[in-house]
Structure 1
Amino acid sequence: MTPTEGTASAVLAIDLDAIAANWRDLVRRHPSGPVAAVVKADAYGLGAAPVARRLIAEGARHVFVATLEEALALRAVVPRAVLLGVLNGLVAGAEAEAAASGIVPVLNEPAALERWRACAAARSERLPAILQIDTGMNRLGLGRREVERVAQDPAAFAALDLRYVMTHFVASEEPENPLNREQVRRFDALRAMLPPVPTSVANSSGIFLGPLAASDLARPGAALYGINPTPGHPNPMRTAVTLEARILQVRDIEAGESVGYNSTWVAARPARIATVAAGYADGYLRSLSGRGVGLVAGRQVPLAGRVSMDLLTFDVTDAPEAAAGGWVRLLGPDLPPDAVAERAGTNAYEILTALGARYRRYYRGQA
């Protein structure tokens, strides 16, 4: 079945072949070490289980999510031989469940390190962990003074199998930003205080910083799903999503008539208006009101009026192909998330992670 067949009101097609191709390209660009698959937020809205399954089949041996709940939901998909990491770490009291499930927490504060050490002692085994050092984000991770204190404790990591020490870039999408180099300098200085452990530095845009961000493990997320990791330059990644919504009705209106709530759009000429089965309840952002566009048979059509909960209205006067039962494309290779995000005044991350649950989903290239 193709995305425009069947009885669905709206269809989201996810191209796993494109995601796999993006992962392979990132592997090629990061020769210093392997490349993980970051599938947090349900793989940026595209489905963590099918994405993780496909990338593991491609050879990924590190999978990262944000929360323990996400990790537990993926446990049946991610083999024990693949590192399943939790970037947010663990809330107090979740250690035993994580350990029993073979999940690897990112330890972001001394208290978490202590709790994970205690859990290891209680289980009489060395538990795997990743340590995060904060180098400028001021969000998660041990700061300089905390690293110094931990480094003075010879038993700090004795009960743990410390797999990586990591940090996170603040502005890697800005290659000329001096903070990138400064963060790497801080990271090198702080990790030198700790036992020798493999490093993890580059996120999606960080991979494109080249040798500056080379490490033993890269952690891309957005680039896997086709979001441009090099803003201001042509996107080197493949778009992985196509979203189409069905036209429910087409009506003719006269010049001077308005469309939608609060009459924010008024026809300047006799017009044809297509009402489409999607809205902000489906993640089509309300900020696209008066700014969004769709595609009908390759023709760009402007959004007319406000985005409502379940419906969109497009001016299809210049798209004679538009008809009830047909389709308007809202995302795709010819209308990528970055372009939609620019119109919405946000970033492509929000465009993808906002995708709702009412779309009928199709996966191309399942493992």
Structure 2
Amino acid sequence: MSAPPENRFPSDLYGGRLTIDVDAVSQNWRFLNDRLNGNSECAAAIKADAYGTGQREVGQALFAAGCRTFFVAVPAEAVALRQVLPDAIIYALNGLLPGTSGAYLEHDIRPVLGSLAEVEEWTGLCKASGRSFDAAVHVDTGIHRLGLSPEEFTRSLGDPGVMGPFVPSLLMSHLACGSTPAHEMNRRQLDLFRDVTAPHAHLPRSLANSAGVLMGGDYHFNVVRPGISLYGGQAIEDEPNPMTPVAKVEARIMIVRDVPEGDTIGYGALHTAKRPLRNAVVAAGYADGMLRRAGSTDERPGGFAMIAGHKAPILGRISMDMITLDVTDVPEHLVERGAYVEMMGPNVAAADLAAYADTIDYEYLTSLGRRFERVYAPLT
């Protein structure tokens, strides 16, 4: 296995290992791309360091697989991506921050204009130059975050005095409830987006995130923007996840110890041993992205790890640097000091962990591995 340059120390000095399979990311992109008709392009959202998996490595792998359009959040991410993908189309979803238009033009980055003030600033730039600089325009269809209101969108795009020479390279909106396809909000947003952009249907349009891709062709338009599905996450709730896992988190065992029945485990004494236990303490905690909320108490179970096919429940609170696992029923030779334990990966889905932590797999992925050795290799 090969390690990227940011690993500054020998493997033995890390308490855990984050393995990322960029070929699996490409496989997931091809799976989604194959669901589109010939009129739609499959782009990729690689914001937040490609959901924690490495923007540089993932971006290069996806470009090699055929992806040509990428979405990040902030201009700094876009500039960093441009350094490794000189020929890609790159959009910054968070729009045009004050004073940044020069950097967008210098690095050929396309802002997603999400307010009337941003549209006016960008069109002013185009008017002053007498040419159209590429940018997307975001219309809010009900999520009430970024985006022009439908009225602002209609008024602005229909007024040559506002637009000047500017011709948007993309018109887009964002689904609020894609993870639950039966939610009426999806159809409402689809209908509004279709209606408000109909006078400009000659321009490329984009509505679908990962869930929108899986929801079918009505949502695909010209460009789809999958994110979580590329990284093996579950885009649609309560349905089988068709995506391939791309990341595996392993933590090393520091100590194995016996805990008598009736003793408590971890901070707050929240978990009481109901029988004599054998515990393994591993070198991972919430500082490594293993969320504190997935710990256990006497009232509710916590998450779990896997050791060679054996489930090892989390016992007590997850602390900053360590987690206690119940390995009572795991063969002793598998839980020796220094051995690796799978905390998340092919056998411990991020969505399963997220359910114990009352969150979503996005939060797990984007928080991972600040102190782990990072390895790019197939998951084994």
TM-score w.r.t. the length of structure 1 is 0.94
Q: What is aligned with 2:315?
A: 304
Give the superposition deviation at 1:271. Answer: 1.6
Which letter does structure 1 place at the counterpart of 2:342?
Answer: R
Deviations 1:79-99 (A, max 9, x none): 2x3211001102111111111
Does residue 276 in structure 1 map to residue 282 in structure 2?
Answer: yes
| Separation of aligned partners in 2, 1:202 and 1:254 | 53
Does residue 22 in structure 1 map to residue 33 in structure 2?
Answer: no
Q: Map residues 275-294 of structure 1 onto 2, 5 A cutoff.
A: 275-290=281-296, 291-294=302-305
Q: Map residues 96-175 of structure 1 onto 2, 5 A cutoff.
A: 96-175=102-181
Which residue of the other structure, out of 344, 351, 356, is the alignment partner of 1:331? 344
Q: What is aligned with 2:7?
A: none
| Separation of aligned partners in 2, 1:22 and 1:151 | 36
Does residue 354 in structure 1 map to residue 361 in structure 2?
Answer: no
- My pick for the range that moved more, 331-340 or 113-122, is 113-122
- Determine if contact 1:92/1:115 at 8 Å carries over to the other structure: no
- My pick for the range that moved more, 85-94 or 172-181, is 172-181
| Separation of aligned partners in 1, 2:335 and 2:2 | 19
- My pick for the range that moved more, 115-124 or 302-311, is 115-124
Give the superposition deviation at 1:192. Answer: 2.5
Give the superposition deviation at 1:149. Answer: 2.1
Give the superposition deviation at 1:178. Answer: 2.2
- Determine if contact 2:20/2:375 at 8 Å carries over to the other structure: yes
| Separation of aligned partners in 2, 1:99 and 1:118 | 14
- Determine if contact 2:52/2:367 at 8 Å carries over to the other structure: yes
SS in 1 for 2:251: strand
- Determine if contact 2:135/2:170 at 8 Å carries over to the other structure: yes
| Separation of aligned partners in 1, 2:217 and 2:32 | 14
Does residue 61 in structure 1 map to residue 68 in structure 2?
Answer: yes
Give the superposition deviation at 1:29. Answer: 0.8
* CA spacing shift, 1:213–1:105, aligned 2, 3 Å: same
Deviations 1:147-180 (A, max 9, x none): 2321341143343242111111111222222222
Deviations 1:241-295 (A, max 9, x none): 1110000111122222222112112222222111110101111100011102111
Which residue of the other structure, out of 275, 287, 306, is the alignment partner of 1:295? 306
Does residue 364 in structure 1 map to residue 380 in structure 2?
Answer: no
Q: What is aligned with 1:77?
A: 84
* CA spacing shift, 1:298–1:170, aligned 2, 3 Å: same
- My pick for the range that moved more, 216-225 or 183-192, is 183-192
Which residue of the other structure, out of 346, 351, 358, is the alignment partner of 1:345? 358
Deviations 1:8-29 (A, max 9, x none): 3100001111110000000011
- My pick for the range that moved more, 34-43 or 224-233, is 224-233
Q: What is aligned with 2:243?
A: 237
Deviations 1:311-355 (A, max 9, x none): 111111111221111121110111111111111111111111111
| Separation of aligned partners in 2, 1:254 and 1:48 | 47
Give the superposition deviation at 1:194. Answer: 4.1
SS in 1 for 2:155: helix
Q: What is aligned with 1:186?
A: 192
Which residue of the other structure, out of 87, 90, 94, is the alignment partner of 2:93? 87
- Determine if contact 1:222/1:229 at 8 Å carries over to the other structure: yes
| Separation of aligned partners in 2, 1:280 and 1:322 | 22
Does residue 46 in structure 1 map to residue 53 in structure 2?
Answer: yes
* CA spacing shift, 1:216–1:152, aligned 2, 3 Å: closer
Which letter does structure 1 place at the counterpart of 2:283?
Answer: A
Give the superposition deviation at 1:195. Answer: 7.2
| Separation of aligned partners in 2, 1:131 and 1:173 | 24
- Determine if contact 2:295/2:318 at 8 Å carries over to the other structure: yes
Which letter does structure 2 place at the counterpart of 1:163?
Answer: S
| Separation of aligned partners in 1, 2:188 and 2:277 | 56
**Identical amino acids, percent of aligned pairs:** 39
- Determine if contact 2:2/2:377 at 8 Å carries over to the other structure: no
Give the superposition deviation at 1:123. Answer: 4.5
Q: What is aligned with 2:215?
A: 209
* CA spacing shift, 1:126–1:148, aligned 2, 3 Å: closer
Give the superposition deviation at 1:207. Answer: 0.7
| Separation of aligned partners in 1, 2:118 and 2:102 | 13
Which letter does structure 2 place at the counterpart of 1:259?
Answer: I
Which letter does structure 1 place at the counterpart of 2:346?
Answer: P
**Across the two proteins, how many residue pairs are aligned to each other?**
363
- Determine if contact 1:264/1:306 at 8 Å carries over to the other structure: yes
Does residue 251 in structure 1 map to residue 257 in structure 2?
Answer: yes
| Separation of aligned partners in 2, 1:147 and 1:20 | 35
